[in-house]
Amino acid sequence: MAKRRKGQRKQEPVKAPSPDFVRIGAAAAAAAIAAMLVMAPPDYPPGIAVALWVSAVVAGLVAGLSTPQGEWWLSPAVAAASCLVGELAMLGVHGFDPAATLVASVPLAAVVAAGMSWLRETADSRVAPIVALVAVLAVGLWSFGILPGPYATAHETFVGELSVPVAAETYGFDGSIYQRTFQLMNEGTPYYEAFGRAFMDDGRIDVLPPGPLNYREPLLFWIWALLPGVNVGADLLRVLEFLMLLLMAGAWFFARQFVDDGAALIAPVAIATLGGFYVTMPPSWFTFPELWASGVMVLALILLMRKRWWEAAAALVLAVAIRELMVIFIPAWLVASALTKERRMALLASGSAIVVSVAVVAAHLAAAPSAGPAGSLAASAKTWLQSTGLPRLQEALQFGFPLIAIGAIGGTLLFVLAVAGAAQVRSNWRRWALVTALVVPALFLTTFSSGPYDYYWGAILSAPVAAIAPLAFTRLLPRATAVQGA
């Protein structure tokens, strides 16, 4: 054996790298949260039983993509543990105990995670994430009731109801007003006249809209009327289902700018459950402009984060033109423009968006007929000062998420995750823009309300919250090529 020379350092034995316990724990937490967000309506045991299997698949996908590669058993173990935690949380909320399903679904999570780990090691780096996204899109189709499952009958029944045109004096719901407006426009009636007639045909009302704020902006209805082959509410529902799938994919691409591919799956899973509420649960909430504008806002934020200033400005204007309440996101654009190093271009684009947005809203308010006395615009605005404060905010945050597996705290949990995630973004201007895009609308929803039934205003925030929620893992499960810089 060769002797060590004088002055030569003794070689230390090479140690195997120690497991990254922080990342492993974060992967388990992300997988458990994703599992808990799977659609499982309260008081519907058939849905919960099947949801346990679906949540196992989701937990396996997230764990398989986020767990550090190493020992073959690590990813399956993380998936099984996170699936068990998530499903026990679900069952704890619902008080339902399908023990056999629970026991069988946990190994399924391990198998899915093992498969994802194998893909990561043997295939191109893009294959495993795309396979996972496709699988989550299938979860969306299952949540919508399009694929066979516990929600297919509800979806089929809802489509059948929406296939019948809405008749005058047979409804008492805002969504039906929007449906009837759309029908009258298809018959050739101009928008404002159509909306006024549909408003007066509501069984609760026997007068025209009293003020401009009682009219919705016309752009969304014009778009609906231009869609080929779209004539009744069922047709609009199918359009929304397609757009929801696009929103799921868009939210995943947004989140993976900051976190790894596994944690980013939290966003489309949450949106799948959000979409399930709109497309399987009567009445016709899906016709509310707040939902459609919220989806456009996710697109606007994607473009803003990528410093596509003019495209982001155009998307912001489009959201405002669909629902004027979206002006509460303008401060996020101002913050981004003030803090980025590309200040001149950003301010020019954002300023243009503000001017055009104000012009669009002003043109709508000027064009909307007023059946009330002079000054009815101001009178209508005064009715917005009826908020109950934080209880009203929680009610608004929960709107759209009543079918989330963990019950009434689901919407609030997503909002907390989103704010925590936005605050962790390393890029200074992106961090404060995202925080502003969440906090300002939340303050608006806390402060303003037109009565006890306008909790649906929370829909303006639901899609952005779902898209930003995965950023809670920005520091623990960061993407290697996360967006940085000024």
Q: What is the pLDDT of residues 461-475, one digit of tens each?
A: 999 999 999 999 999
pLDDT confidence of residue 334: 97
Mean pLDDT of the 365-371 span: 85
Poorest-pLDDT segment among 120-124, 125-129, 223-227, 404-408: 404-408
Residue ranges of the domains in the chain?
A: 22-123, 140-155+234-368+380-481, 165-231
Please write the tens of the pLDDT for every residue from 120-175. Answer: 989 888 899 999 999 999 999 999 999 999 999 999 999 999 999 999 888 999 99
**Predicted confidence band at 51 (pLDDT cuts at 50, 70, 90)?**
confident
Secondary structure of residue 389 in the 3-state scheme = coil
The per-residue pLDDT of the chain, averaged, comes to: 89
What's residue 373's pLDDT?
Answer: 57
Q: What residues have CB less than 8 Å from 124, skipping those under 6 apart?
A: none
Per-residue pLDDT band for 244 (boundaries 50, 70, 90) equals very high
190 CB-contact burial (10 Å; exposed 0-12 / middle 13-18 / buried 19+): exposed
Residues 278, 285 contacting (CB under 8 angstroms)? yes
Residue 15 has pLDDT above 60, yes or no: no
Mean pLDDT of 258-281: 95
The pLDDT of residue 290 is above 70: yes
Which pLDDT belongs to residue 402? 85
Examine the pLDDT at 286 and tell me if it is beyond 50: yes
pLDDT bin (cut points 50, 70, 90) of residue 455 is: confident
Q: Is the pTM above the cut of 0.95? A: no
For residue 380, the model assigns a pLDDT of 58
**Please, which pLDDT band fits residue 20 given cuts at 50, 70 and 90?**
confident
| Neighbour-count burial for 131-155, b at 16+ CB within 10 Å, e otherwise | bbbebbbebbbbbbbbeebbbeebb
What is the spatial distance between Cα 312 and Cα 297, in angstroms, rounded to a whole number?
9
Tokens of 369: 């007929």
